[in-house]
Every structure is written in C-alpha cells, then in structure tokens.
C-alpha cells in the first residue's frame, strides 16, 4: 500500500484477543496517541483485505516516529536514582555506584494497562524488572485465561532469556499502567564483558529469588497432594 493511500475503515486486534472496529482513520489515530494501539498492534485494512502491524501502515508511521522522538530521553534508565532502582528486590543490596553503572545496560519501559509485554511461544530476548505497577503471568487454554501469578513492583520475569533464546512459556500482561526495566540478552552479555563485578551480585540475587519461588511451588504441590489423598474434596 502506498504511503499516501489510506483505508476507509480499519479493524484492530486487541491484546485481549478481541477484534475492535471497524473505525475510521481519525479514531485510529486517537488510539495511537492514547497508546491503545502500538506499533506492534495488528490492523486490518479493508481496502486491500490484509492485516499489517500498525507501525507498517504509511498513514500511521508519522505518529509513531513523533512519539519515539518525544520519548527518546525517558527510556534511559541511567537517569534513575539508585533509591528508585532499589524498589526491585534483586537490586536492593547493590551499592550506589554499582546501580548507577548497571542502569546503563537497562532500558526504562513504560507500558499501558492491558499491554501484552511478552507472548507465549515467542523467542525470549530480554528479562524485565517491575519498577512500578503490576503484571500478570497467564496461559490461554481453549480461549480461556488461566492466571499463573501476579507480579507487583519489585518482582521480575523472563530471566531465562538471559541464558538462552528459548520460547516464552507464558504471556505476561500489564494489569495496570506500569514501568519496567528491560535487560536484553545482548546487553547482559555486555555486562559480563565490560563489568563482570556487576553480573555476579545480580545473578546471585536472582538465583536466591528463583530458589525461594521453587520452594514455594514445591510446598504448594506437596500441600495439594496431601489434600487430595486425605479425601477432603
């Protein structure tokens, strides 16, 4: 589709799996400005009977470029103070100098409510720390949502992506407007190469949290087995 050719009507594939529309271009533009539609949102154009990502539509690219330019400074995690970074539990024991340097390898990522941050089956390429807000980890089974966990400020998810590029095991969706710290696998490799003294305490703190999660999961499984065997159901 030519950059100056627009569709009379559009349909939008929401993160909740619902198709919204049809809507006209002014409505779609407003949704982009409100961040209800991101560059990765799938849009159906009735004029050429096809689905495209919103960022690929010529009539919307200007708005995404403008938004990116406006946010160019806000995605720099190095501007955060050490005290703000210590909201994340696995960063709490790092010294100020360590946090200031480690922040240079992270990206500050604001996300709107209902945004799908990672999708089950996609290749994992980053770990996320919840600085503000809350997200939920879910599985979609036969079209129904099963919530595995809710992660509040201070928690993290996606850590396996730092070690391999395996597929994501679940979706993660923002329950409310949130702010995340993103550590890509490539950035973490740079931490190993350029600042190994930062990688060690980070990995140790991460491992302790994962160990605690495993113990809690084991206890829940043991309790559920004991309950089932007791016949109290």
For 71-119, the pLDDT digits (tens) are: 444 567 877 888 889 889 999 999 999 999 999 999 999 999 999 999 9
Distance CA(125)–CA(188), nearest Å, equals 10
Provide the pLDDT for residue 81: 85
Q: Say if pTM beats, i.e. exceeds, 0.75.
A: no
Point out the residues of the chain with pLDDT beneath 70: 1-7, 62, 65-75, 227, 231-233
3-state SS record for the chain: CCCCCCCCCEEEECCCCCEEEEECHHHHHHHHHCCCCCCCCEEEECCCCEEEEHHHCHHHHHHHHHHHHHCCCCCEHHHCCHHHHCCCHHHCCCCHHHHHHHHHHCEEEEECCCCEEECCCCECCEEEEEEECEEEEEEEECCEEEEEEEEECCCEECHHHHCCCCECCCEEEECCCEEEEEEEHHHHHHHHHHCHHHHHHHHHHHHHHHHHHHHHHHHHHHHHHHHHHHCCC
């Amino acid at each position: 589709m030519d950059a100056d050719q627009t569709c009379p009507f559009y349909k939008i594939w929401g993160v909740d799996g619902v198709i919204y529309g049809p809507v006209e271009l002014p409505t779609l533009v407003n949704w982009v400005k409100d961040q209800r539609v991101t560059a990765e949102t799938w849009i159906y154009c009735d004029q050429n009977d096809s689905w495209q990502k919103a960022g690929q539509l010529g009539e919307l690219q200007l708005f995404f470029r403008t938004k990116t330019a406006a946010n160019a400074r806000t995605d720099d995690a190095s501007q955060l103070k050490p005290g703000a970074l210590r909201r994340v539990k696995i960063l709490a024991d790092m010294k100020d100098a360590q946090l200031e340097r480690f922040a240079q390898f992270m990206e500050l990522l604001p996300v709107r409510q209902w945004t799908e941050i990672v999708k089950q089956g996609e290749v994992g390429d980053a770990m996320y720390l919840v600085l503000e807000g809350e997200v939920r980890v879910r599985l979609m089974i036969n079209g129904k949502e099963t919530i595995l966990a809710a992660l509040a400020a201070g928690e993290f998810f996606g850590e396996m992506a730092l070690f391999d590029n395996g597929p994501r095991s679940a979706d993660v969706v923002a329950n409310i407007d949130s702010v995340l710290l993103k550590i890509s696998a490539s950035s973490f490799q740079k931490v190993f190469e350029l600042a190994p003294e930062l990688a060690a305490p980070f990995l140790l703190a991460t491992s302790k949290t994962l160990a605690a999660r495993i113990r809690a999961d084991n206890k829940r499984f043991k309790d559920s087995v004991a309950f089932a065997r007791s016949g109290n159901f």
